[in-house]
């Protein structure tokens, strides 16, 4: 198959491109062309160009374009986060609509943070409640939800009769690659700071990279699935348990707890936001489970042990 990945240079894009490259499938669109084992095609994510030729007679488009959210939500960064997602999706929609032989399936990145802060019940695709303007929710949380809603609206606004559309509402994808989200949590544990992030009752939704890759392949091979799909382990767990299990997997004896005000200071100094840690994401992959998908790492203990072992050995290939 020919699989085109616009925006395949971030953490998740690199994981996916690396995996598909080994199968001989991948072409990556990038705003910043660079050397990689797979073929890189330049694009700006805003206007049509020679990159459209790569989509003609391709089999799959997996759009992961979007400015990293690992930053402070200044006005300039908010604009870049919003536009890099929504505008790139719109231009891909226009491009695919113009093709004689468009891809059979278009998977478009979305995010599990589209659901409301949830302590009371899990959120699947059928019954989950989208967030936005909940009483007491920080402005940054509402901004993330606004981006997610606009992103999906742009994706689904125009029907493409010859191309199946699936929005990937992905939780945090954990791999042992340096610089990824797993590295952030593991760094806390390694430096003795991996205690409960108060209040500790907030749920952590996650997915092991092996299951993320297998889920993408499953969605490509399952024509009946369209619309939003949650990519997350079926077993989210509270922050205090999540960090305790990670400490055990690493062999750390202690982990100092952090209060919300400490997290706010720390994330400010790191030039990022505390939403990743404080918002409760209790996301369940209802559609994957209902269509027979089997997780390799459905529970955090087994996933944590595998990720820690591979971090220590620095072997990142799945």
Task: For the chain, give every domain's residue range.
Answer: 2-316
3-class SS of residue 308: helix
Reference 38, options 51, 27, 50; nearest CA is: 27
Give the pLDDT confidence score for residue 274 in this predicted structure.
67
Segment holding 65, helix H or strand E? none
Considering Cα of 280, then 194, then 245, then 175, what sign does the dihedral take? positive
Residues in the chain: 318
Residues whose CB falls within 8 Å of the CB of residue 223, separated by 6 or more in sequence, listed in order: 164
Q: Which residues pair with 231 in a beta bridge?
A: 170
Hey, what are 89's tokens? Answer: 């999706």
- Taking the C-alpha atoms of residue 116 and residue 119, their distance in angstroms, rounded to an integer, is 9
- Taking the C-alpha atoms of residue 2 and residue 24, their distance in angstroms, rounded to an integer, is 8
CA geometry: angle 288, 291, 293, nearest 5 deg: 55
- Taking the C-alpha atoms of residue 223 and residue 162, their distance in angstroms, rounded to an integer, is 12
Helix locations, the chain, DSSP H:
11-21, 52-55, 75-97, 139-156, 181-190, 209-220, 239-250, 260-269, 275-278, 286-290, 300-313
Residue with tokens 């690493």: 250
Q: Which residues pair with 42 in a beta bridge?
A: 30
- Taking the C-alpha atoms of residue 95 and residue 101, their distance in angstroms, rounded to an integer, is 11
Considering Cα of 71, then 236, then 190, then 10, what sign does the dihedral take? negative
Give the pLDDT confidence score for residue 318 in this predicted structure.
43
**Tens-of-pLDDT digits for all 318 residues of the chain?**
999 999 988 889 999 999 999 998 889 999 887 889 999 999 999 999 999 999 999 999 999 999 888 788 899 999 999 999 999 999 999 999 999 999 999 999 999 999 999 999 999 999 999 998 778 888 888 999 999 999 999 999 999 999 999 999 999 999 999 888 898 889 888 988 788 887 899 999 999 999 999 999 999 999 999 999 999 999 999 999 999 999 999 999 888 887 776 666 655 555 656 677 788 999 999 999 999 999 999 999 999 999 999 999 975 554
Identify the CATH class of 2-316.
alpha beta
Residues whose CB falls within 8 Å of the CB of residue 294, separated by 6 or more in sequence, listed in order: none
Give the C-alpha distances (Å, rounded to integers) separating 275 from 16, 49, 204: 25, 36, 11
């Amino acid at each position: 198959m020919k699989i085109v990945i616009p925006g395949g240079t971030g953490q998740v894009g690199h994981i996916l491109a690396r995996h598909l490259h080994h199968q001989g499938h991948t072409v990556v669109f990038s705003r910043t062309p660079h050397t990689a084992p797979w073929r890189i095609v330049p694009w700006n994510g805003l206007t049509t160009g020679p990159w459209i030729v790569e989509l003609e007679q391709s089999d799959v488009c997996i759009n992961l374009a979007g400015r990293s959210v690992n930053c402070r939500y200044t006005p300039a960064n908010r604009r870049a986060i919003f536009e890099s997602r929504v505008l790139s999706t719109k231009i891909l929609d226009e491009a695919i609509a113009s093709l004689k032989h468009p891809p059979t399936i278009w998977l478009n990145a979305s995010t599990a943070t589209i659901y409301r802060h949830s302590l009371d019940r899990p959120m699947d695709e059928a019954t989950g409640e989208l967030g936005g303007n909940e009483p007491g929710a920080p402005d940054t949380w509402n901004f993330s939800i606004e981006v997610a809603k606009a992103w999906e609206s742009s994706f689904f606004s125009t029907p493409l009769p010859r191309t199946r559309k699936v929005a990937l509402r992905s939780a945090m994808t954990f791999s042992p690659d340096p610089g990824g989200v797993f590295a952030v949590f593991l760094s806390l544990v390694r430096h003795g700071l991996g205690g409960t992030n108060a209040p500790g009752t907030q749920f952590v939704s996650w997915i092991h990279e092996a299951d993320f890759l297998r889920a993408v392949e499953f969605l490509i091979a399952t024509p009946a699935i369209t619309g939003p799909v949650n990519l997350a382990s079926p077993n989210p767990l509270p922050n205090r348990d999540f960090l305790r299990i990670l400490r055990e997997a690493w062999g750390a004896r202690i982990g100092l707890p952090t209060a919300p005000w400490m997290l706010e200071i720390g994330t400010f100094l790191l030039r990022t936001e505390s939403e990743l840690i404080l918002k409760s994401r209790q996301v369940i992959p209802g559609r994957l489970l209902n269509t027979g998908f089997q997780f390799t790492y459905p529970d955090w203990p087994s996933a944590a042990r595998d990720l820690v072992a591979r971090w220590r050995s620095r072997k990142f290939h799945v």
